[in-house]
A and B are shown apart, each in its own frame.
Chain A
Amino acid sequence: MGELLFETGEWNFDTLKRTYDAIEQIAVGEMGLDPYPNQIELISSEQMLDAYSSIGMPIFYHHWSFGKRFARDEAMYRKGYSGLAYEIVINSNPCISYIMEENTMTMQTLVMAHAAFGHNHFFKNNYLFKEQTDASGILDYLNFAKSYISRCEERHGIDAVERILDAGHALMDQGVNRYGRRARPSLAEEQSRLEARERHLQDSYNDLWRTLPTPRGKRGEAPAGDPGESARGAPHLPEENLLYFLEKFSPRLKSWERELLRIVRNVAQYFFPQRQTKVMNEGCATFVHYKIMTRLHELGKISDGAMLEFLASHTSVVFQPDFDDPRYSGLNPYALGFEMMCDIERVATNPTEEDRRYLPEIAGCGDALGALKTAWANYRDDSFIAQFLSPQLMRKMKLFKLENRAKESHYKIAAIHDERGYTEVRRALAAQYDPGARDPNIQVTAADLAGDRKLQLTHYLHNDVPLAEQEAKTVLGYVADLWGFGVELRGLGPDDVRRYSFELGAERKAAAPAPEPEPVAYGDHVF
């Protein structure tokens, strides 16, 4: 049996390193996890509050909203309403984990297992993170963003910068590309394509074409009633990435303002996978730390006391109050994630007949970690739940579906954890995590660039759920400000019937002196 890694709650750099090595031995050696190299940074509680306010990033540009967040978090913390996180982990390469000096050595062990191996493995292997984030470039990018924005503040004044950032932040949720795009062609490919095109033009040149009369512009023939027609000049409508659209096509923005929007958009995109994988990410990290701590204890490397301290903290993290409990505030992603990971392990190694029916791919496959790693790599929350939520877990958590229809005067229990309801509960829970259903579906559907330049946004209602009206109107004001001309937001039901429509005229902007014309980068699809 091994020697204890540490005897007391006190930590020092030696014990940290020794413990890290023991954890790594288990995580990489035994469990076969594949994390980025780790960098562990010790910070004080005050620095943790600082990190909180800039969404956990070590470098971030300055904005008043972070100051507001800091003021609120600090007040909550000082009054004891909320504790601080034990750690913050950053999806970067090397993976940076901040751990607090106040933690006991047991907590440091837990935190290292949780963040430096659990989250880290997930960041490196999940397809969303791989596709949409650039772990090795993010810190450099944020560094650039911070200095660029502070240069803009010096040159154009804080107010001018805040005007753009405020608007950008308001549209952050609509500033992401929801689907991976095909890889951009490299310079060489681009050049060879250009050459091929030119060769084709030369090969097929025929002087006869020159003599034909030029065809009438399509625009003139377009029916006047259709606003979509006139926007043909701006390519690729509808466009769901509002920030992208405004950055590229807004007629009034200056180039530095476009760059600010781009920064906000890139940050939004960087965090987008985290919003879609909360349950899995936390579940993965919690499962990993649970396995590692248990294994350390088995090997005699941590004492019974430390194990008890760990379990006390672990159980409070994965605690799920019932829906009628005053403490209930939604499903706890740690609880759901951890339960599902444990459940997958059970199904893989010790399945029941039922599991074989519901989860035939993994039931009894024997390789629990293999099954989990595949799941961590290839799913996001909604697909993961749709695929792996087992009847046994539904029974354990006593999940049920509550139907709340606008037309009805009563709630209805649509399905519970029984044979008739498993599929429906599973589907409903998955839908709850579907970003397509959670975020409103708002797209740029028309921009009359040749005419009065009115921008039309369309909200396609899902389940007839409207937007929060006051807020939507304020945000529309921001859009109008960025666009510089009139903006309309209309809500369409599934039957294409207009449910509502807000409109904001261009009067406010029209009064301002027209800025010098700035070339708009049409057709530039840099991302």
Chain B
Amino acid sequence: MGVNVIDRRLNPSGKSLPNRQRFIRLAKTAIKDAVVRSIRERALGDVESKEVVNIPMKRIAEPRLRHSSQGGDHDQVLPGNKEFVRGDTLPKPKSGEGGKGSKGSPDGEGEDDFSFTLSREEYLDVLFEELELPDLAKIRFKDAAVVKWHRAGHSPSGNPTNLNLIRTMRHSLARRICLGRPKPEALAALDGEIAELEALETRSAADQARLGERLQARRQLAAKARRVAYIDPVDLRYNRFEPRPEPTAQAVMFCLMDVSGSMTEDMKDLAKRFFLLLHLFLARQYERVEVVFIRHTSEAKEVDEQTFFNSRETGGTVVSSALAEMRRVIEARYPIQDWNIYAAQASDGDNYSSDSAKCRQLLSEEILPLCQYFAYVEVYDPRQAEIFMSSLNVSELWKDYAAAAEQRPNFAMKRVFNKSDVFPVFHQLFAKTRMAA
């Protein structure tokens, strides 16, 4: 009864992945709630990290028919008696009340939340479910800068690591058969015969002749075996790889923000949340996403992330300056045939009235044709929310942009009043069945 030891460690793990997917599917609504709640509440920095979600146990309970722990007579045997003797009595803990008191209580069934960790992928899947990037494929396959190596048959020359052993041995075998390379067994048989003959005390003439003949044959075979090598360089075959241009998708995301004095910290925070979501979303769709931060007052400047979100500027507001800066950056660094260009602009809607026309013209004639998608969010201080809630009461910039929006399908605009709006607004902007904004 020999033992069979099998090494299963190399078997793929994650056998219960389908179970996990079914579980997430079942608890989807609960998970989605939890994820959306978390995007509102958690600190901005760790949106990308893993997410622990709590699901109400009720949704995923596995009920059974079992005895209640209360009511009725429960005798039990316990170990470790110290001082009890037969007949001792102990007071019951208070909750037990005795008698038929169990009716009211929910039988102590655990109603705790079930908490578990979503991986980053799963988290983002849930977060961006049903969202899509508009016009994703526009430039995607034109770009051929990156190559990928593909298998492309075999070649007689190559790198030793690419040696194809099976092909090589097949050629070797064919060549050996064709050229009649003596088999080791044949040589061994001859050797045996020779040794036998040589071992004879006395050899007859016939034996002597046979011995000579065998020795001769042995020499010939050995010579032939030397001439016809076991493996010859002509046998060698290598796996061949061929470079093929690989379509890649890369995106650049422009974050434009008004940092003039009228933008409060709260408003900037809303804008930042929006930018962050957009960045996460793009990073999932594209292998490479670059971010360009442009902030503007009366003039615009490209800055790094830190400055973009943190430093304050004072001054007036000329929105067209940001658009002009964006155009300059695109021309300088992001040729449109190679890059998918996305832009998100956040502003409180203030603009010099004299800039209005220029702004409109710049947007609809120069920027929008370059962009895959341009999203404009107008942020409001929560305190102003009530005043501006009405769709009639809109800012100057909103009016200008609304005109552009009508002509261009790749432009959308939304208003954000408080933190909890950010995700829904984002969702509306990128929902699969996007309504013309």
- Tell me the A residues contacting B by CB distance below 8 Å: 13, 16-17, 20-21, 24, 28, 37-44, 46-47, 49-50, 53-54, 62-68, 70-72, 75, 94, 98, 101, 116, 158, 162, 169-174, 320-325, 328, 331, 397-418, 420-421, 425, 428-429, 431-432, 438-440, 442, 461, 463-472, 474-475, 478
Task: Point out the residues of chain B lying under 8 angstroms from A415, CB to CB.
Answer: 86
Please tell me if the beta carbons of B107 and A17 are within 8 angstroms of each other in the complex: no
Residue B44 CB within 8 A of the other chain: no
**Within 8 Å of chain A (Cβ to Cβ): is B151?**
no
Q: Which residues of A contact B19 (CB under 8 A)?
A: 53-54, 62-67, 70
| B73:A64 contact, CB within 8 angstroms | no
Interface residues on B, range: 35 or more
Residues of chain B within 8 A (CB-CB) of A401 are: 75-77
Which residues of chain B from 368 to 385 have any CB-CB distance to chain A below 8 Å in the complex?
none
6 residue pairs from A and B, CB less than 8 Å apart: A16-B5, A170-B65, A320-B79, A413-B87, A463-B75, A465-B74
A91 to B5, CA, bound (A): 17
- Min CB distance A100 to B, Å, is 10
Verify if B15 is at the interface (C-beta below 8 Å from A).
Answer: yes
B85 at the interface (CB under 8 A from A): yes
Are A467 and B66 in touch, CB under 8 angstroms? yes
Which of B6, B24, B64, B88 is the one whose CB lies under 8 Å from A67?
B24
Interface SS of B by simple majority: loop
Most buried by A among B66, B78, B91: B78
- Given the known A-B contacts A47-B8, A405-B73, are A399 and B78 also in contact in the complex, defined by CB atoms under 8 Å? yes
- Asked whether any CB of chain A lies closer than 8 Å to the CB of B13, the reply is yes
By a CB distance below 8 angstroms, the chain A residues around B14 are 46, 50
Q: Within 8 Å CB of B3, what residues of A?
A: 17, 20-21, 24, 38-40, 116
- Distance between Cα atoms of A332 and B390 in the complex (Å): 68
Contact B8 A42 (CB under 8 A): yes
CA distance A64 to B18 in the complex (A): 8
Contact check: which of B4, B65, B106 meets A475 at CB < 8 Å?
A: B65
Give CA–CA (A286, B53) in the complex, Å. 40
A406 touches B98 (CB 8 A): yes
B57 to chain A, nearest CB (A): 10
Contact with A along B16-39 (1 / 0, CB 8 A): 101111111110000000000000
**For chain B residues 47-71, which have a beta carbon within 8 Å of chain A?**
60-69, 71
Q: Judging by beta carbons under 8 Å apart, are A42 and B6 in contact?
A: yes
- Which residue in chain B gives the minimum CB-CB distance to A158? B22
Which residues of B sit under 8 angstroms from A438, Cβ to Cβ? 67
> Nearest chain-B residue to A14 (Cβ)?
B5
Contact assessment for B86 and A42 in the assembled complex, using a CB-CB cutoff below 8 Å: no
Report yes or no: A475 in contact with B64, Cβ–Cβ below 8 A.
yes
A461 to B78, CA, bound (A): 24
Q: Is the CB of A467 within 8 A of B5?
A: no
Contact between B62 and A65, CB atoms less than 8 A apart: yes
**Which of A162, A416, A429 meets B85, CB within 8 Å?**
A416
Do residues B92 and A410 form an inter-chain contact, with CB atoms below 8 A?
A: yes
Residues of chain B within 8 A of A54, CB atoms compared: 15-16, 19
Tell me if A465 and B79 are in contact (CB < 8 A).
no
Measured between beta carbons, the chain B residues less than 8 angstroms from A170 are 62-65
A72 near B90 (CB under 8 angstroms)?
A: no
- Contact residues in A for B13 (Cβ distance below 8 Å): 44, 46-47, 50
Cβ–Cβ < 8 Å partners of B11 in chain A: 43, 47
CB atoms of A465 and B67 under 8 A apart: yes
Q: How many Å lie between the Cα of A101 and that of B13 in the bound state?
A: 14
